[in-house]
Each structure stands twice: as structure tokens, then as C-alpha cells.
Amino acid sequence: MNVEFVDEIALDIATKSHIADLMKVCFPEEDFHGRHYFKQLPHYRLLLKNKNQLIGQLGLDYRVMTLNGEPINVLGVIDFAIHPQFRNQGRAAQMLNELEQLAHKFRTNIDFLFLVADQHDFYRKFGFELTAQHVRWLVTEEHINYGMKEGFFDHCLMYKQIGSKPWVENGNLDLMGYWY
């Protein structure tokens, strides 16, 4: 099985359909409405394939956020999932190791990896840390923009330092866009 790094803009119809099918199986609690993305298109994806079968996917959102007013380059992980039939075989680990290599390759352009998750212990194994932040973000739902919202979160935001910039705890984190 191999992991491909692809640009969202280059996805063909068949691949988008395979991603949509995978999202439906892996996130039964969320309604993707048949789309291959939940709220917004990511910029890149890592796709884990067995010949032509899509086994896993990880969306990547690349953006500038601000932490206490300082711009930080953030590569965000979105909708990471492995097909149920292929779980507990180290496939997620394979994809996160691939992400680690990718982040290392582009480390001059990435300050932090970032994600929103409940499975803290899983991501801790790969060097992510839970953080507490006062967050500002853009609320979007089903292609409708509801404007900005703010709140304190200490149970779901995780980051991993890539560059030399230090992370700041209990800061003001502006996502500078939608919450993924």
C-alpha cells in the first residue's frame, strides 16, 4: 500500500467519489451529503491506496493563523480516516509517518501541524499535544457563512511543533477562517 500526496485541484471525478464513499463509512455520525469534503475543500490530501482501492485519507489545510497576534504557518489535518476493514493494522500510523516526512521536507514553510480531535491518546503517540486556547473562527454550515464566533477550548485542539517558533499556551488563537 502506498500513500500519495495530491493537490485538491487535480482530483478526478472517480477519486472524489471514492473519498466521499470513505467519508460516509468512516464518519457515520456526520452527514457529508455525498460530498468528498465536509465544510470546505482542503488544499492537499494524503491518499492511502491498495492498488486502486482507497483505504485511507487525510485532508490538509494550509493557512496562516495568529497566536497572540503573531502569524503562524499552520498545516491542518482534516477528516483523517482509515476504512473499517483495514483498521488496527498500522495504516493510520503509516499515514501520520508520511505526514511527518512531508512536514519535515517543507519545515521552513510550516510552523505547526494542527488538528481538532477527541482521540488525544492516539495523536499523542505521534507527537501531538493538547492545548488550551481562546479561539476565534468563522462559523460555516452547509455552505452558509454565519460570521465570527469566539470561545475557550481545552479538550479538542492539538498541535505539533515543526519549525522553531514556540507554541503559546492559553493564548488567543485566531483560526483566520473556518473551524475544521
Ligand X SMILES: CC(C)(COP(=O)(O)OP(=O)(O)OC[C@H]1O[C@@H](n2cnc3c(N)ncnc32)[C@H](O)[C@@H]1OP(=O)(O)O)[C@@H](O)C(=O)NCCC(=O)NCCS
Residues that bind ligand X (CB under 6 A): 26, 80-82, 87-93, 117, 119, 121-122, 125
Cβ closer to ligand X: 34 or 90? 90
> CB of 27: closest distance to ligand X in angstroms?
6
Q: Give the 3-state secondary structure of residue 174.
A: strand
Cβ closer to ligand X: 97 or 108? 97
> CB of 26: closest distance to ligand X in angstroms?
5
Residue 14 has which C-alpha cell? 472517480
> CB of 155: closest distance to ligand X in angstroms?
13
Cβ closer to ligand X: 36 or 91? 91
The label of the residue with cell 481562546 reads: 134
CB 94 within 8 A of CB 48: yes
> CB of 32: closest distance to ligand X in angstroms?
12
- Secondary structure percentages of the chain, helix, strand, coil, to 5: 25, 45, 30
Cβ closer to ligand X: 56 or 65? 56
Furthest CA-CA distance within the chain: 46
